[in-house]
Amino acid sequence: MALVDNDCEKGAATAQELAEHGPVSFMPCDVSQSLEVERAVAASLDSYGRINVLVNNAALLGPGDLLASSDDDLAKVLAVDLFGPLCLSKHVLPHMTKQGGGVIVNIASIACFVGSPNYPAYAASKAGLVGLTRSLARKYARRNVRINCLCPGSVRGTNLRTRSALRKYSTQEELALIGRIPLGRTVYPHEVAEMVFFLASPAAAAMTGATIVLDGGEMLGL
């Protein structure tokens, strides 16, 4: 497994934790920078010889007030949340098609459906990620490359609307969320991981261009 992150300390710690389950390589990479992405893909190929699965999970929440946001702040959100997956896909797809197939899983958010009043750049980029998923799925299906999109709602232990800081929910925030989620709870992190695993597995061999919502029914309460 190759893991890339622009936070070297947290990325290395995550790689060490995952190493209990198999070989893991960590590479510092800002996915908004094409040259860094190209280098990370090349390093992954040098280490493992092929890339079977790409999970585009990097994201920034960004500024909370559009009118008070600088152009640079808004551009950074779009660069990480939308250009990043686009760029990674651009550099990975040639290898997947050459090797006879592969899987891409894009991680979006229910914000792409319901919007995010306080974080419009984030919501816009996630909606764009759904469009990217569908476009690439149509283009590469006959090359045996499947591309799907997962849209989580609120995940227990982290607030996806402040995901860049990974802030813990307060008790009041947790109760407010539970009150509008039909299942009466937020999503567990391992449930997100298991859905990614499913989409990458042969069990999902007939799925491409799909957008999967994993939110415990949260959108129904909005």
Please give the Cα distance from 183 to 221 (Å, whole number). Answer: 11
Strands 102-107 and 53-56: parallel
Is 140 marked active-site?
no
- Please identify which of the residues 122, 140, 169, 188 carries the catalytic annotation: 122
- 3-class DSSP assignment, residue 152: strand
Q: C-alpha angle 185/189/190, rounded to 5°?
A: 110
Asked if 217 and 152 touch (Cβ cutoff 8 Å), the reply is no
Q: Which residues 6+ apart lie within 8 Å of 171 measured at CB?
A: none
Q: Which residues are known to be catalytic?
A: 122
